[in-house]
Amino acid sequence: MEKRKTEVDLISEKPEQTGLLKYMLENGMTQFHVVKHGEEYLKEHGFSELKLEDKWQLQAGADYYVRPYSSVMIAFHLPEQLQHIRIATSHTDFPMLKLKPSADMEKGGYHMLNIETYGGLLMKTWFDRPLGLAGKVVVKGSDAFHPEVRLYDSEKPVAIIPSLAPHLKRGDSETKLDPQKELIPVFGLWKKDEPHSFLDEVAEKLQIDKADILDYDLYLYNCDSCQMIGDSGLFTSPRIDNVSSVSAILESLTQTGNKWQEEKGKGTEAASPDERISEADGSDTNLSIGVFFDNEEIGSLSKQGADSGLLRMITERILKDSGERRTIQELLPEIFLISLDVAHGTHPNYQEKSDPVNRVLLGNGVVLKSSASQRYVTDSEAAAVIQVLCEDVGVPFQRTVNKTGMPGGTTLGPIVSSYLPAKAVDMGMPVLAMHSACEMAHLSDYESMKRLLVAFWLK
């Protein structure tokens, strides 16, 4: 994986705690890039690619991944003797600004980009920040049904949304923004005599003819880099929700797979945390599946989202093509699912917005989410499993529940459980400023999350 050049090499103070996390936060500019870099990481760690259209010849003890679409991926370790199924899900998307078709527009002599909001982003935080442009571009292929997909990243700021000075808006309400009016970014100056489109720059960088571009899914992203906050382990970065969960699943899954076993057998360094939780019980009986869905931030109702049946379809195929005679229905008591997504920390300046008892503090461990309305899928039996796992491997954990009368959000757990009704929990690392252009978290919580996942895969 080629490292992105950044002005500040962030989180370098604690490189042993960041690894893939730092790389993914700085390079996963869109859901397509998150999957691309995740795929590269899996390949580097001995995972083999499978194609939906091919016959799968699966070998016990081997590691595989399949990428049904460019923004969704499923990776798994096939055990020597299948007894249990362990699944961890996350999502590859995050709130952004998406370019509309024919996005070039002129306003007051400026070249603007027509956008729409993707997900529930905290709009005021996107003003006055350097914005890059990234996503996928679709060009003419061999025939109408097989267009070519190219990933694009400007790798530099190309736009900005300037705020209105306070002197010019006295008396105006600041409670609500009109995104179609106020969130339109400046791309440059409008050149009347030289017609210019943002696609000219896209085509030039991709070294293609602009006329061959059929369509695109392009997003403006925050170019701010990761930053350590003081020396307490706090850090701030764009896209912590939910690139942190993707990274934790990737790191933990590769640390428990076949290549790790081979490296360990050669006597090379490959273990830790704590020699893979003291070697677990020495057996290889867990079908471990890491799932990376798209479109969680907009409801998951898409072919690449959790509300698609994709996970069940792939799991059934793994069982069939590995020679397993039992069905999902027969294996259901042995399936456990973790839906991994960031959790709200209790905000020190707005403590009244959180439950008065179940407070969540950054740096105090992973967070188990629960809700009487089942907006989070955790129940008491599943929560007990995670609590015992945490205690077994020395991982601190916290509980969160919404303030009574405040509905809060939801995530992948309830959706996935409707297709695969297994025991499940919703959990994640705590953050502040969720859905802001820059969010805040603690490195020790990421380490706790990885450590718990390693135990989850191996126990």
Strand order in the sheet with 439-442: 227-229, 234-237, 439-442
Mean pLDDT of all residues belonging to the chain: 91
Predicted model pTM: 0.92
Find out whether 42 and 292 touch, Cβ atoms under 8 Å.
no
**The pLDDT of residue 4:** 45
Superfamily of chain region 96-222: Aminopeptidase i, Domain 2 (2.30.250.10)
| CB 241, CB 94: distance < 8 Å | yes
Query: What's the rounded Cα separation, in Å, for the pair 438 and 238?
Result: 4
Task: Give the tokens for residue 100.
Answer: 């509309």
Place of tokens 């015992």: 388
Same fold, 15-94+239-458 and 96-222: no
- For the chain, report the end-to-end CA distance as a whole number of angstroms: 31
- Using DSSP bridges, classify how beta strands 63-69 and 48-50 pair: parallel, antiparallel or unpaired: parallel
pLDDT at 272: 53
pLDDT of residue 281: 58
Distance CA 18, CA 243 (A): 13
Give residue-wise pLDDT tens across range 33-83: 999 999 999 999 999 999 999 999 999 999 999 999 999 999 999 999 999
Name 435's Cβ contacts closer than 8 Å, sequence gap at least 6. 95, 119, 120, 121, 122, 241
What is the reported pLDDT for 9? 40
Give the C-alpha separation, 62 to 77, whole Å: 6
- Between CA 54 and CA 62, with CA 59 as vertex, the angle to 5 degrees is 105
CATH classification for the domain delimited by 15-94+239-458, as one of 3.40.50.620, 2.40.30.110, 3.40.630.10, 3.30.2290.10: 3.40.630.10
Contact 65, 75 (CB under 8 A): yes
Q: Which amino acid, residue 373? A: S
Residue 267's pLDDT is what?
A: 52
Closest residue by Cα to residue 337 from 293, 375, 283, 290: 290
Residue 263 has pLDDT above 60, yes or no: no
Domain locations in the chain as residue ranges: 15-94+239-458, 96-222
Strands 227-229 and 48-50, bridge-based pairing? unpaired
- With cut-offs at 50, 70 and 90, classify the pLDDT of residue 403: confident
pLDDT band at 445 (very low <50, low <70, confident <90, very high): very high
Q: Give the pLDDT of residue 373.
A: 85
pLDDT tops 50 at residue 376: yes
Structure tokens at 376: 């989070």
What does the pLDDT average to over 309-323?
A: 96
C-alpha to C-alpha distance for 112 and 204, rounded to whole angstroms: 20
Tell me, what's the pLDDT at 262? 61
Give backbone dihedrals phi and psi of 427, rounded to 5 degrees, phi first.
-155, 175
